[in-house]
Amino acid sequence: MIKKSLRMRPELFLFFVLLSAVALGNGLSDAVYSNYFKEVYQVTAFQRGLIEFPRELPGLLCVLIIGMLSFLGDLRASLIAQILAFAGVLMLGIFTPSFGVMLIFLFINSMGMHLFMPLQDAIGMSLAEPDQIGRRMGQYSSVRSAFGFIAALIVFLGFRTGLFTFNTPIKWIFIVSAIFFVCAVVVNTFMIRRVKSQKLESYKTKLVFKKEYYRFYILAILHGIQKQVTNVYSTWVIVDLLMKKADTVALLSIVVGFASIFFMNLIGKWMDQFGIRRMMYVDALSFIGIYAVYGLTVWGITSRILPGHGATVWLVYLLFVLDRLSMQINMVKSVYLRSIAQSDDDVTSTLSMGTSLDHVISILAAIAGGYVWANWGSQWVFFLGALFSLGNLYVAYRIKKDKKEGIFREPGHVPTQVTL
């Protein structure tokens, strides 16, 4: 069925290829940054939190940049995103700059990656068949996961065999990442030509902040907190507390990537089958449960109640994998926005606003997390993450209440398709 759809719709096939190239580029750069910072610049946990400011600042600026690029349309803005991601990671690969200059290149690479975040959801939902948005979103995520899995394999084998290392002047892992971003630029260019040939017009993106979308904004803000707990501090437990190298993190990413190939397809199908509200409950409860157990485990390790080896290490690995899988359920919030959008033009702009709100909080959460880790104890980063995740339960509950008001769409309802 999927292959048939791809043959019939070349632009959809190209989008899958674009997602694949970006996933490889990100997987060979973003996934190893923690080890890069640790091994090349010897950063502390508090400094690791501070690094998130230039790394997450592009997300804060996302709504402004996309608004400025609105006259280009989503696909051309996406092309600019790929070029920025390529330029930043290429400089990190060619040079080993001073810490301050490194942050500039990191900012450029991060700007490209963050600009693509809301654009990929908007473009993907626009290309989806009107009655299969959840299924297509699941497929997009599965493709990203599959090629993230391949990237993790490359990282693991590369570092394990010595092909990749952070001890050489040229960081070849970043050079290979840049090559895949070049591929993304080429594919994105073909997509622009294909869409233009079919006379599909790009709609203009405006800055949108509407009270009707305030629950989506809450979800975006909470995601900013959860993202830092998951991507930064759960990894830092392995890198700093357990003293593991890049190949260990890569091996765990391989497991996550492989599981996600199937998991994200299921999430997409479940959204169409069970509805958005139920999936939002699953999303909330998974965060709360995993962060609570993570906090208890880290407390056990730091207080020496639990040994830092053996079964405890395997428990941390399991939590790492479950945490990453739980994070991916977050795609439900984009479909939720699509279901309540008052107009087609609101989708990309509101996704962009959500990305910016996400990153305002993300920057603050990263700095606060580093302070909490250093002064209160590492376990409190996870306990606070579980506490804030109660907000996800509130949103899911309020959606249930709003069903009577006609704001929540029943499973199976799909709004008007957006054109590119």
Confirm whether 412 is domain-assigned.
Answer: no
Question: What confidence score (pLDDT) does residue 145 get?
Answer: 82
Confirm whether 411 is domain-assigned.
Answer: no
Question: H or E stretch including 142?
Answer: helix 133-161
Token pair of 162, please?
């010595």
Confirm whether 71 is domain-assigned.
Answer: yes
Could you tell me which residues come within 8 angstroms of residue 258 by beta carbon, excluding any fewer than 6 positions away? 149
pLDDT tens sequence across 334-382: 778 877 877 766 776 777 788 778 878 877 887 888 888 888 988 999 9
Where does residue 162 fall: left (phi above 0), alpha (psi -120 to 50 degrees), or beta otherwise? left
User: Over pLDDT 70: what percentage of the chain?
Assistant: 88
Range of 272's domain? 2-405
Confirm whether 357 is domain-assigned.
Answer: yes
Confirm whether 413 is domain-assigned.
Answer: no
Confirm whether 47 is domain-assigned.
Answer: yes
Q: What is the CATH number of the domain that holds 102?
A: 1.20.1250.20
Confirm whether 387 is domain-assigned.
Answer: yes
Q: What is the rounded distance in angstroms from the CA atom of residue 124 to the CA atom of residue 141?
A: 10
Q: Compute φ and ψ for 307, nearest 5 degrees.
A: -70, 150
Most confident of 121-130, 139-148, 287-296: 287-296
Confirm whether 420 is domain-assigned.
Answer: no
pLDDT tens sequence across 129-156: 766 777 788 788 888 888 988 998 898 8
CA distances from 175 to 74, 85, 87, 109, 380 (A): 27, 12, 10, 13, 37
Structural domains of the chain, count: 1
Q: For residue 217, give the nearest of 337, 393, 59, 344 by alpha carbon.
A: 337
